[in-house]
Structure 1
Amino acid sequence: MDQGIRTEITRKIEKGETVELKFAYADSELLMFINSIMAKELAKMDHIYLLNSMITILREVIVNAMKANAKRVFFIKNNLDIKDKAGYKEGMSRFKEEVIGEFDAIEKDLKNSDYYVKIDFSRNDQNLHVVINNNTPILTEELERINLRIGKALKYNDFSDAYDEIEDDTEGAGLGIVLTILFLKNMGIDPKTFSITTNGNETKTTLFVPRDLRPPQITSKIRDEIVADVEGIPTFPENIVRLLNLCNSPDSTMEIIADKILMDPALAADVIKLSNSAGFVPGKRIETVLEAVKTIGLKNVNAILVASNARSILEKRYASFEEIWRHLTKTAFYARNIGLMLKKPGLADNAFMAGLLHDLGKIVLLATNLQLVEKVAETIKNRRIITSTVMEEISIGISHSQIGELIAKKWNFPDYLVEAIRYHHAPHSSSEQHRDLAFSVYLANMLCGIDDKKYYYFYCDEIVLERFGILEEEKFRDLHGKLKGKWELNLEE
């Protein structure tokens, strides 16, 4: 998008003026830009913590508006009468088969049509109003079906109740209505402020974010079990505590620390393994504990000791999730290298440690109710939801980030580490003091997700990309390619 338009919109947000966007088709770049507008609007209200949920809702509404327009284009192109019952039934069957799931295929037809989607962001009395219009009137039976879904959704308190009962029967939007209502409830927003109406010429969807919010805590049996279980997780054993103290003591020598580590063969093996996998010295294999201590430094040895012991404690209590530990190691590698980009003392080492530990809560979550977690994962994939945390919160009442925070506090981790774990999906919510660290771990995690085809470039937060000077997709892909190349080279050595 033209930089002049971006600058003008940013100026309007700063002045509290209405921001308007009008388009026929929202590609990945435009969706990303809309995300950044929402981020700036929420930041002005001090509600940035709502970003992931609001982006999820807004994307759902935008896609539904484009889908409504695409439906009209499809019917016209195929000489079908949308108001004729038989024609509607035939058309919808073909539309679902030919367009839903392959939505990009109709991009050209939409851009060549007179149909559009218009979004207005406006703030008054510090409340945010978002209105999405598309210039196709919704049919009576469609509106009735939507209102029926909204009515059903209002009865549900969590996603697990709704998942099996309301799967859409026609266009794939039924579950989206349920998600929207549940997200609003979870944010402390009255779901009755969400509405879909028509004036006979246009369809209007209205979202409202009030200045004052009182988010209810979703209580569920699973959440209560998790919180109680975390309280029962053992603290670090005395020998590990002594080792960590040695790493932080100015009187310690590397030889003393290496000797202490060697007294625990499993720990010694972990130190050597993680020292190599983190790629501290490209092209060189670390063979001994003393060599590891001398090569990577005491702060990084400290990080490896914490991560190794965390794994030991959690695997004795829960199942072993090897895939998560591989992800943690790779995220730590990426985060450390991203931290080095900012050239700030200590950031790279802190980013390495935070990367090694950011998903501790996911292990507990997976071990507690794998079936529900799989339903959440399926919904995230099908609807391209940016982060799992918002789905976990409406499904279970607690996210893996929050579980990780509970564990981090129980183990008396420093504040920077607690924040990096808690906010690795919502970096804007971190304190200013630890913002660069949260941004580094967030970006590293997103890059790993892109490697695994879970995320896409346009999912990434524009403000984070701007902070690292990689807002342009070419620069982003260049950085990603370099990091990925380093990681793959490190695996080969």
Structure 2
Amino acid sequence: MPNRNITLDVSKIKMAIRAGIPLSITTYTLPRDMVEYMEAVLSAFLKELNQSSMNEYLRYCLNELVTNSKKANTKRIYFKEKGLDITDDAQYEKGMKNFKQDTLGDIKRYMNMQRAAGLYVKFILQTRNNKIKLEVRNNSEMTFREYKRIHDKLSRAQQYTSVDQAMNQILDDSEGAGLGIIIMILMLEKVGLTEENYQVLCENGETITRIILPINEKSQKELSVVSHEFVKLIDNLPQFPENITRINNLLDDPNAKMSEIASIISSDVSLATDLLRLVNSAAFALASPCRSISEAVKLVGIHGIKNMLLSIASINELSRLGDGVDEKKSIRKDMWIHSYRVAFYAYNLAKNFYPTSATIAEDSYICGLLHDMGKLIFEAVHPLMNERMKSVCVKKDISTDVFERLVAGVNHGEIGALIAEKWNFPEVITNVIRFHHDPELAAPEHKATANIIYLADMLAHFQREEVDFYQFDKEVLNSFHITTQSQLKMISEKLASEFAKEPF
């Protein structure tokens, strides 16, 4: 039965775009309202990316691909019912003679049989690395004959220059993967793509049809320009605190004495108190409480103390931003709790999966704490800057929609990294903030930390049921030897249980 209760959740679409995670819709019978829902998701997805010009063409492609996937599933049921071997050429020809007539005349029964057999059609959308990936999958693996037929059609599509020319040719219409695929390739050519952007493959028992589209270059440049202009316009963003800068310079001095460093930190009562509170937090799980700065420096080490000081100063400075905007305070509080959670998870993941590297654990904590720095800053100050940013967009002939995309959280990694650069943060922090949603783009020497922050962040969203297991990056999961949802849930529950002991 068609599902009449499907509603479009634009907030999940926005989050998927912001985090570069896939959106997936699975159906067994492909009723009309499910196709309409898929089209609505595609339309909203493209709108959020400012790529609505592709909508008409991609909607045609989507319809063609999901229809072909459903037919492929129906074909498996039909051949099995008739006792025919779909991989045998002679039996294939025999079965296809009446396939369309027999199944269309009894389509409801065949759809019910497909559901019972667990044969699905899956639609997946994702944007990452300035590309859009549209996939349609079904779990009926193609035969060699079907694979060859599709590639013959792809080759034939190159002979035509227009849809009309293709329509005028006499094509075999015994299967859906004929004229439709040729028209689809011609549609893609209208948005500047070639058959190279269209892939058909079989993998792990699935037939996968994939379209890869580069996001409009002009749109990417405009987003980058607006992000840089936004950072420039933050007048009330201070330089990094002088006392922290002075202590960090001392920490970088190989001739500096530990006692001298401890003495300077101790002379700043507020800073010393914050540092001891952080050292003694549950995240670092010390065997016994640390009671002095000298002891803290010895226990945590120079690199760890430096990161902790950066954390404390960043929290203090970022917390002051936007204090006059009362309606935003609860949002900022939620963001900080999320940041503390990610930092806690990241530190513990690093300690468990990289037990021999204290540096990765220390870097993971501060990167987790500051991973959403761009979002925190934006949430704090953008209500006061709307008119100024719109004025910048008009002056630079950029649509104000680009600014609205920033409001939705797009490019917050870049904004956070620009602030980190302004404050002269270490490269690892800047790099991980920039690529915490795209860890594969992080510098090789920082990739382990980027993977940790990605996983910690996704686990926090997973616990709030904002993402599903399928949306986790499989390469990142593999790097932690996580292959099943039950493994992920076990790690998630353990971390959540420990974090619940943290006071807020």
> TM-score w.r.t. structure 2 length?
0.53
Name the counterpart of 1:209.
Answer: 212
Does structure 2 conserve the Cα–Cα contact (< 8 Å) formed by 1:419 and 1:434?
A: yes
Distance 1:54 1:464 in 2: 12
The structure-2 alpha-carbon separation of the partners of 1:268 and 1:406, relative to structure 1 and needing over 3 Å to count, comes to same
Name the counterpart of 1:329.
Answer: 340
Does structure 1 conserve the Cα–Cα contact (< 8 Å) formed by 2:132 and 2:215?
A: no
Distance 1:356 1:485 in 2: 19
Name the counterpart of 2:421.
Answer: 409
Is the aligned partner of 1:280 residue 2:284? yes
Name the counterpart of 1:17.
Answer: none
Name the counterpart of 1:358.
Answer: 371
Name the counterpart of 1:310.
Answer: 314
Distance 1:192 1:322 in 2: 48
Does structure 2 conserve the Cα–Cα contact (< 8 Å) formed by 1:128 and 1:210?
A: yes
For residues 227-265 of structure 1, give each alpha carbon's deviation from its aligned partner in whole angstroms, at most 9, with x where no partner exists: 223476222233211111222333333332222122222
Name the counterpart of 1:461.
Answer: 473
Give 1:102-141 correspondences, 5 Å limit: 111-112=115-116, 116-117=120-121, 132=136
The structure-2 alpha-carbon separation of the partners of 1:446 and 1:69, relative to structure 1 and needing over 3 Å to count, comes to same
Is the aligned partner of 1:470 residue 2:473? no
Counterpart among 226, 248, 254 of residue 252 in structure 2: 248
Is the aligned partner of 1:339 residue 2:350? yes
Does structure 2 conserve the Cα–Cα contact (< 8 Å) formed by 1:392 and 1:400?
A: no
The structure-2 alpha-carbon separation of the partners of 1:283 and 1:454, relative to structure 1 and needing over 3 Å to count, comes to farther
The one-letter code of the counterpart of 1:366 is E
Does structure 1 conserve the Cα–Cα contact (< 8 Å) formed by 2:463 and 2:492?
A: no
Distance 2:488 2:446 in 1: 23
Counterpart among 299, 305, 316 of residue 301 in structure 1: 305
What is the Cα deviation at residue 298 of structure 1?
A: 2.3
The one-letter code of the counterpart of 2:261 is I
Distance 1:366 1:344 in 2: 38
Distance 1:108 1:278 in 2: 53
Distance 1:128 1:298 in 2: 43
Distance 1:446 1:114 in 2: 29
Distance 2:340 2:299 in 1: 18
Give 1:161-176 correspondences, 5 Å limit: none
What secondary structure sits across from 1:209 in the alignment? Answer: strand
Counterpart among 49, 55, 71 of residue 22 in structure 2: 55
What secondary structure sits across from 1:235 in the alignment? Answer: coil
Distance 2:461 2:268 in 1: 34
The one-letter code of the counterpart of 1:323 is D
The structure-2 alpha-carbon separation of the partners of 1:298 and 1:219, relative to structure 1 and needing over 3 Å to count, comes to closer
Distance 1:129 1:325 in 2: 32
The structure-2 alpha-carbon separation of the partners of 1:212 and 1:423, relative to structure 1 and needing over 3 Å to count, comes to closer
Name the counterpart of 2:433.
Answer: 421
Distance 2:215 2:225 in 1: 29
Distance 2:471 2:118 in 1: 28
What secondary structure sits across from 1:297 in the alignment? Answer: helix
What is the Cα deviation at residue 401 of structure 1?
A: 1.1
What secondary structure sits across from 1:466 in the alignment? Answer: helix
Distance 1:72 1:242 in 2: 61
For residues 10-60 of structure 1, give each alpha carbon's deviation from its aligned partner in whole angstroms, at most 9, with x where no partner exists: xxxxxxxxxxxxxx99xxxxxxxxxxxxxxxxxxxxxxxx9965834xx3x
User: Which moved further from structure 2: 304-313 or 256-265?
Assistant: 256-265
Does structure 2 conserve the Cα–Cα contact (< 8 Å) formed by 1:331 and 1:445?
A: yes
Name the counterpart of 1:385.
Answer: none
The one-letter code of the counterpart of 1:347 is I
Does structure 1 conserve the Cα–Cα contact (< 8 Å) formed by 2:349 and 2:452?
A: yes
The structure-2 alpha-carbon separation of the partners of 1:477 and 1:257, relative to structure 1 and needing over 3 Å to count, comes to same
Give 1:181-260 correspondences, 5 Å limit: 208-210=211-213, 214-216=217-219, 217-218=221-222, 226-230=230-234, 233-260=237-264
Distance 1:247 1:288 in 2: 18
Give 1:69-148 correspondences, 5 Å limit: 69=31, 71=33, 111-112=115-116, 116-117=120-121, 132=136
Bigger CA radius of gyration:
2
Distance 2:275 2:340 in 1: 12
The structure-2 alpha-carbon separation of the partners of 1:491 and 1:67, relative to structure 1 and needing over 3 Å to count, comes to farther
What is the Cα deviation at residue 468 of structure 1?
A: 0.6
What is the Cα deviation at residue 422 of structure 1?
A: 0.8
Distance 2:321 2:230 in 1: 13
Distance 2:444 2:411 in 1: 23
The structure-2 alpha-carbon separation of the partners of 1:368 and 1:238, relative to structure 1 and needing over 3 Å to count, comes to closer
Is the aligned partner of 1:448 residue 2:460? yes
For residues 396-433 of structure 1, give each alpha carbon's deviation from its aligned partner in whole angstroms, at most 9, with x where no partner exists: 69522111011011111122111110111121221222
Give 1:431-446 correspondences, 5 Å limit: 431-446=443-458
What secondary structure sits across from 1:277 in the alignment? Answer: coil
What is the Cα deviation at residue 224 of structure 1?
A: 6.9
Q: CA RMSD for the aligned pairs? A: 4.7
Distance 2:467 2:408 in 1: 23
The structure-2 alpha-carbon separation of the partners of 1:368 and 1:221, relative to structure 1 and needing over 3 Å to count, comes to farther
Identity %: 28
What is the Cα deviation at residue 471 of structure 1?
A: 1.7
The structure-2 alpha-carbon separation of the partners of 1:398 and 1:211, relative to structure 1 and needing over 3 Å to count, comes to closer
Is the aligned partner of 1:269 residue 2:292? no
Distance 2:472 2:384 in 1: 28
Does structure 1 conserve the Cα–Cα contact (< 8 Å) formed by 2:227 and 2:411?
A: no
Distance 2:21 2:464 in 1: 25
The one-letter code of the counterpart of 1:242 is R
The one-letter code of the counterpart of 1:251 is N
Distance 1:190 1:444 in 2: 38
The one-letter code of the counterpart of 2:267 is M
> TM-score w.r.t. structure 1 length?
0.54
The structure-2 alpha-carbon separation of the partners of 1:131 and 1:317, relative to structure 1 and needing over 3 Å to count, comes to closer
